């Protein structure tokens, strides 16, 4: 089967046979597909028909439409629970010119070492917001989605996949990424991983031909292996951006090791050694960080720590939209194997299987599996697309001949691109804070009555409260989303005793080295003055049972705020809150979102809205 590719006038190009056998000079003259870039057009081949192609501008328009569709699918402007903290930490590093070595803004473990593996991400978030406001955060995150989707489309077309396959894979993968595409350092991990996969896509191009003994493929890999020396620089950036670099380092090492084994079996010892050296240097490059080996010691501890309390680390729910999209990707992999058994790549299958297992066991990791599919699946489906082209009459030949048909297709894809772009714009204008999840109205009450100090806030709200206190320059919190990076495990467990109650293996993991279960410990450690917890949580029952020490100051459908009775219920105290000023079950609209940062003193809400 023959496929046309875009070429400059007078530039002849062709594809290698699907079987992977070596081409003769007659089959592929000098100036080949790889030198040009390897983009393949959708065409129909028929008996006696010559090569036909449609204009390159139409190809570019289709690519633009698919990229816009993918980035629109990923557009997510919901505030993450840790966003306030990330911005604040980045601001402090920019202002101080140095990294804090101990936990900040907390009374729970003020002297505990802080191993922050998200420094570049926090500098990005702080600089983007302080420089351009909400637009800085939203557009910079969109640009990262543009890099990810753009590289997927580029890789797919280089691999020879047609536009339908490219659009299908990008649409499914971007839909799945949406569920994890928040304003979090993880966004940099996903972007770095996409760059890693795109680098592999270029360097390991036509790998099955190389394994089949194609001398041109071997020569091409000898030339392109040097691009892999960019990986150490990528790993330095990644290691200082987010802890996901550890997963990237493991996957990269495994991939290079397995490819090196394949090269050794072909007798290419020098190439195998070269791959191994690159992997070693790239992993060693991760030591270029403020903590040196300490970062890897921390990561080794973190990777062995069970986090059943954190939703991202729980198994992927099988009865969910996310699981359905994963099933579609798995089915596509199976179909690709049945369609092209001669092109089976056991290395890709092993790594896909490993990441699928990890993704099913820990929902957070399913994104890595999805990104692998985004870069590897189109090439695997290429033979299926070519086979379908011989069975079904495709419009390629008609499009190559008919100017009117080209214009109709151009209008359609232009509509898709414009419509997708219009879907993105609202996500640029604002970041929404879910009032049904965050204690927006409770913080408004605290603002009205100037309530600050040592505050034990629920884990999910810790960095929101921290960010609010930072605007006042006063107040400390207990545990927050930094988790084990700046809190010892025993402290985490004792605070979780208050939040979750008795040990339930399905709900949480309590370290055997932690002190005995004590749900009241959190109310005494560090002498907190205020406690802000979810309404109807286990902790509220503990507070109600200790009404002689704690008084309810505020309660709404989302949160309860309790104060130490000797401080806030004593008329002789300067911080006394009279009963008539307390607010229990006020009428509020929790379905109405607030606009980030949703602080009472700076909250910009939707027109006509009001914080009670």
Looking at residue 208, what is its pLDDT? 84
pLDDT in tens, 241-272: 999 999 999 999 999 999 999 999 999 999 99
CB-based contacts of 274, cutoff 8 Å, min separation 6: 225
Looking at residue 503, what is its pLDDT? 66
Q: Which residues pair with 353 in a beta bridge?
A: none
Single out the residue of 598, 344, 554 nearest to residue 449, CA to CA.
554
533: enclosing H helix or E strand: strand 530-534
Looking at residue 278, what is its pLDDT? 97
- What mean pLDDT is reported for the chain? 86
Backbone angles phi, psi at 70, to 5 degrees: -65, -45
pLDDT in tens, 331-387: 999 988 887 666 678 999 999 999 999 999 888 899 999 999 999 999 888 877 666
Burial zone of 461 (CB within 10 Å; 0-12 exposed, 13-18 middle, 19+ buried): buried
- Distance, in Å, from the CA atom of 397 to the CA atom of 401, rounded to the nearest integer, reads 6
CB-based contacts of 521, cutoff 8 Å, min separation 6: 494, 497, 498, 515
Beta strand pairing call for 476-477 and 594-595: unpaired
Token pair for residue 527? Answer: 């002498």
Q: Is the model more confident about 606 or about 515?
A: 515
Cβ atoms within 10 Å of 102's Cβ, excluding its own? 12
75 confidence band (pLDDT: 50, 70, 90): very high
Token pair for residue 48? Answer: 């006696």
Q: Given 3-state DSSP classes, what are the helix, strand and coil percentages for the chain, each rounded to the nearest 5?
A: 55, 5, 40
Contact 237, 120 (CB under 8 A): yes
Length of the chain: 612
- Distance, in Å, from the CA atom of 207 to the CA atom of 594, rounded to the nearest integer, reads 51
Q: Where are the domains of the chain?
A: 56-427, 440-595
- Distance, in Å, from the CA atom of 145 to the CA atom of 151, rounded to the nearest integer, reads 10
45 confidence band (pLDDT: 50, 70, 90): very low
Looking at residue 350, what is its pLDDT? 95
Contact 208, 82 (CB under 8 A): no
Say whether domain 440-595 belongs to CATH 3.40.50. Answer: no
Looking at residue 523, what is its pLDDT? 96
Cβ atoms within 10 Å of 269's Cβ, excluding its own? 11
- Distance, in Å, from the CA atom of 391 to the CA atom of 117, rounded to the nearest integer, reads 53
416: enclosing H helix or E strand: helix 403-429
506 confidence band (pLDDT: 50, 70, 90): low
- Distance, in Å, from the CA atom of 123 to the CA atom of 583, rounded to the nearest integer, reads 38
Identify the sign of the CA torsion 581, 586, 587, 591. Answer: positive
Over range 173-177, report the average pLDDT.
96
CA distances from 368 to 187, 190, 226, 357, 466 (A): 12, 7, 25, 11, 31
Looking at residue 128, what is its pLDDT? 97
Torsion of CA 563, 567, 573, 578, to 10 degrees: 20
Contact 224, 210 (CB under 8 A): no
pTM equals 0.86
Looking at residue 137, what is its pLDDT? 96
Residue 602 pLDDT > 80: no
CB-based contacts of 14, cutoff 8 Å, min separation 6: 2, 5, 23, 27, 28, 29, 32, 33
Contact 389, 45 (CB under 8 A): yes
User: CA 521: distance to chain centroid?
Assistant: 35
Over range 217-233, report the average pLDDT.
94
Torsion of CA 407, 408, 413, 416, to 10 degrees: 130
Contact 478, 526 (CB under 8 A): yes
Beta strand pairing call for 583-584 and 550-555: parallel
Over range 119-138, report the average pLDDT.
96
Single out the residue of 483, 479, 510 nearest to residue 497, CA to CA.
510
CA distances from 328 to 70, 171, 221, 228, 336 (A): 17, 11, 33, 32, 12
Backbone angles phi, psi at 448, to 5 degrees: -65, -35
DSSP state of 228: G
- Distance, in Å, from the CA atom of 447 to the CA atom of 451, rounded to the nearest integer, reads 6
Single out the residue of 445, 465, 452, 436 nearest to residue 535, CA to CA.
436
pLDDT in tens, 410-438: 999 999 999 999 999 999 999 999 999 99
Token pair for residue 36? Answer: 């040009």
Three-state DSSP class for residue 106: strand
Looking at residue 392, what is its pLDDT? 53
- Distance, in Å, from the CA atom of 149 to the CA atom of 170, rounded to the nearest integer, reads 7
CB-based contacts of 484, cutoff 8 Å, min separation 6: 301, 302, 305, 492
Q: What is the CA radius of gyration of the chain?
A: 28
- Distance, in Å, from the CA atom of 316 to the CA atom of 397, rounded to the nearest integer, reads 44
């Amino acid at each position: 089967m023959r496929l046309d590719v875009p070429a400059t006038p007078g530039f002849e190009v062709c594809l290698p046979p699907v079987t992977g056998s070596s081409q003769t000079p007659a089959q592929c003259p000098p100036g080949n597909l790889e030198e040009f870039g390897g983009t393949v057009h959708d065409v129909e081949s028929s008996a006696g028909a010559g090569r036909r192609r449609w204009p390159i501008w139409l190809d570019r328009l289709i690519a633009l439409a698919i990229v816009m569709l993918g980035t629109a699918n990923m557009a997510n402007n919901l505030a993450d629970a840790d966003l306030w903290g990330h911005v604040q930490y980045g601001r402090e590093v920019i202002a101080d010119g140095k990294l804090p070595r101990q936990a900040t803004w907390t009374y729970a473990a003020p002297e505990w070492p802080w191993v922050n593996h998200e420094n570049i991400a926090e500098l990005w978030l702080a600089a983007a917001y302080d420089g351009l406001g909400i637009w800085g955060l939203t557009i910079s995150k969109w640009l990262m989605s543009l890099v990810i989707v753009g590289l997927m489309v580029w890789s797919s077309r280089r691999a020879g996949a047609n536009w339908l396959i490219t659009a299908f894979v990008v649409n499914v993968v971007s839909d799945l990424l949406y569920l994890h595409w928040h304003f979090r350092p993880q966004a940099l991990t996903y972007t770095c991983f996409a760059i890693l996969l795109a680098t592999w896509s270029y360097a390991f191009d036509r790998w099955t031909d190389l394994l089949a003994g194609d001398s041109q493929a071997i020569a091409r890999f000898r030339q392109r292996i040097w691009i892999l020396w960019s990986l150490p620089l990528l790993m330095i950036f990644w290691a200082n951006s987010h802890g996901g670099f550890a997963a990237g380092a493991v996957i990269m090492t495994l991939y290079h090791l397995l490819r090196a084994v394949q090269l050794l079996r072909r007798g290419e010892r020098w190439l195998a050694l070269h791959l191994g050296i690159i992997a070693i240097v790239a992993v060693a490059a991760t030591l270029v960080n403020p903590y040196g080996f300490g970062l890897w010691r921390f990561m080794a501890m973190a990777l062995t720590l069970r986090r059943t309390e954190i939703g991202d680390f729980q198994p992927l729910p099988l009865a969910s939209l996310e699981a359905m999209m994963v099933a579609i990707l798995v089915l596509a992999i199976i179909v690709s194997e049945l369609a092209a058994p001669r092109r089976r790549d056991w290395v890709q299958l092993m790594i896909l299987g490993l990441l699928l297992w990890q993704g099913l066991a820990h929902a957070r990791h399913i994104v890595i599996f999805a990104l692998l599919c985004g870069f590897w699946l189109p090439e695997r489906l290429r033979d299926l697309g070519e086979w379908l082209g011989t069975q079904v009459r495709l419009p390629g030949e008609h499009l190559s001949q008919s100017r009117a048909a080209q214009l109709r297709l151009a209008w359609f894809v232009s509509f898709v691109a414009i419509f997708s772009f219009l879907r993105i714009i609202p996500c640029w204008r604002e970041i929404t804070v879910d009032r049904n999840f965050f204690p927006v109205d409770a913080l408004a009450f605290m603002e009205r009555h100037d309530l600050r100090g040592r505050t034990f806030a629920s884990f999910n709200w810790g960095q929101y409260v921290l960010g609010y206190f930072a605007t006042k320059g006063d107040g400390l919190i207990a545990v927050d989303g930094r988790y084990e990076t700046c809190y010892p495990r025993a402290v985490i467990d004792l605070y979780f005793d208050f939040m979750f109650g008795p040990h339930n293996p399905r709900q949480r993991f309590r370290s055997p080295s932690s002190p005995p279960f004590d749900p009241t410990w959190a109310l005494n450690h560090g002498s907190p003055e205020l406690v802000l917890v979810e309404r109807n949580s286990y902790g509220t029952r503990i507070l109600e049972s200790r009404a002689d020490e704690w008084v309810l100051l505020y309660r709404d459908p989302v949160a309860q705020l309790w104060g130490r009775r000797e401080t806030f219920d004593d008329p002789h105290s300067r911080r006394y809150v009279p009963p008539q000023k307390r607010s229990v079950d006020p009428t509020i609209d929790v379905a109405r979102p607030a606009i980030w940062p949703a602080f009472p003193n700076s909250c910009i809400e939707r027109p006509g809205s009001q914080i009670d």
